[in-house]
Amino acid sequence: MGDIFGQNFRITTWGESHGGGVGVVIDGCPAGLPITEEEIQVELDRRKPGQSRITTQRKEGDVAVLLSGVFDGVTTGTAISIMVKNKDARSSAYDELKDLYRPSHADYTYEAKYGLRDWRGGGRASARETIGRVAAGAIAKKILTQHCGLETLAYVEQIHDIKAEVDRDQVTLEQVESNAVRCPDSAAAALMIERINKMRKAGDSVGGIIGAVVRNPPSGLGEPVFDKLTADLSKAVMSLPATRGIEFGLGFGSVYMTGSTHNDPFVLQDGEVRTRTNKSGGIQGGISNGEDIYFRVAFKPTATINFEQNTITRDGKAVQLKAKGRHDPCVLPRAVPIVEAMVNLVLVDHFLRNRLKNNQRLSP
């Protein structure tokens, strides 16, 4: 259970690190949307390993194939199936991991739950699972861009203790993509890359913070009382591997303020209801108010390291684990498009729900 996400734009993902492939089925995409394999590939290429030396050195082709739901270049309203075949199947590399639990990985918890596990490359717990999310996110993004006018942008805000200065209102996709670490502050980016390289050489790993902004969202997204936009975005983002926390607007920082300094006064601006400040991060009472939505996500340091670590085998015997060779010292650069995908999947779901609602302001 747990492989289906969404209510009106429902995705089902499948696939393990070293099985036949990974993929996604989208149920509820409206008919008439022009979409190509190339457009999906663009987003997959952003999350692909081997883009630069600072992320994982594993090379994966990750070529998206569109198997159903699109005819003559446009969606038909029926289930869209997208698949990426697995290629890098050197599972023998994992033989020694078969009988032991890697610290802070999902090895033990999967076994505790299922009584067995696919130990090749983490199986279903591998970040490779997110390919289906990103493919579906590419379609969500196109709907949102073309029919809703909003833009979602994520970027690296902090790596280890190196913090970037990012102007949330001005940052562009080009700036984000301008360096290997996907941090729009180029000075900080240089330091981050240096730190990550140092970690790789040391066999260690680091985490960090990804910031995200949704510009020009419609008001009215989010449903009382459980499917608040904050709640659904939190679930979406916190379902990603290695996430440890999320905060909206001023988040944990709002705690140090008072109501009188934190409240956002309403003003009329160019005939529209706006707030003078946006400390709420664009969401009030769980529903978007039309201001930019923004939040931050904490990622822990990657569990895979090139260190000798103490652990136990399936029989409970204490052993030493030494991860050999390549490892991913920092997942954040690759996580940027994945966070964007999850945000867009939540937004398109609520956009479709809301579209319905808007029509449903029944008048006599």
Within 139-198, the residues that bind a second copy by CB under 8 A are: 143, 146-147, 158, 160-161
Q: Closer to a second copy at the Cβ: 87 or 174?
A: 87
What residue type is 33 in one-letter code? L
Here the tokens at position 32 are 């008439």
Residues 99 and 319: beta-carbon distance below 8 Å: no
* Least separation in angstroms between CB 174 and a second copy: 26
What residues from 82 to 111 belong to the interface with a second copy (CB under 8 A)?
83, 101, 103-106, 108-110
Please spell the DSSP secondary structure of 278-313, one letter per residue: -TTTTEETTEE-SSPEEEEEEEPPPS--SSEEEEEB
Candidates 303, 336, 343, 347: give the one binding a second copy (CB under 8 A). 303
C-alpha–C-alpha distance, residues 139 and 349, integer Å = 12
Q: Closer to a second copy at the Cβ: 170 or 363?
A: 363
What residues from 212 to 271 belong to the interface with a second copy (CB under 8 A)?
219-220, 222-228, 230-232, 234-239, 241, 243-252, 254-268, 271
* Least separation in angstroms between CB 40 and a second copy: 14
What residues from 304 to 323 belong to the interface with a second copy (CB under 8 A)?
304-305, 307, 309-312, 316-318
Q: Which stretch binds a second copy (CB under 8 A): 53-61, 168-176, 183-191, 279-287?
A: 279-287
Q: Closer to a second copy at the Cβ: 174 or 364?
A: 364
What residues from 1 to 40 belong to the interface with a second copy (CB under 8 A)?
1-5, 7-8, 10, 12-16, 19-23, 25, 27-28, 30-34
Q: Which stretch binds a second copy (CB under 8 A): 39-47, 52-60, 174-182, 205-213?
A: 205-213
* Least separation in angstroms between CB 34 and a second copy: 8
Q: Which stretch binds a second copy (CB under 8 A): 47-55, 116-124, 171-179, 184-192?
A: 116-124
C-alpha–C-alpha distance, residues 210 and 110, integer Å = 27
Candidates 117, 141, 182, 334: give the one binding a second copy (CB under 8 A). 117
> HSE of 6 in the Cβ direction (CA atoms, 13 Å)?
28
Q: Which stretch binds a second copy (CB under 8 A): 39-47, 168-176, 180-188, 202-210?
A: 202-210
> Maximum CA pair distance of the chain?
74
Buried b (16+ CB within 10 A) or exposed e, 32-71: ebebebeebbebbebbbbebbebbbeeebebebebeebbe
Q: What's the Cα-to-Cα distance from 280 to each of 158, 215, 292, 344, rounded to whole Å? A: 22, 14, 10, 20
Residues 62 and 131: beta-carbon distance below 8 Å: yes
Buried b (16+ CB within 10 A) or exposed e, 184-211: bbeebbebbbebbeebbeebebbbbbbb
What residue type is 109 in one-letter code? T
What residues from 48 to 87 belong to the interface with a second copy (CB under 8 A)?
65-69, 71, 74, 76-81, 83
Q: Closer to a second copy at the Cβ: 137 or 222?
A: 222
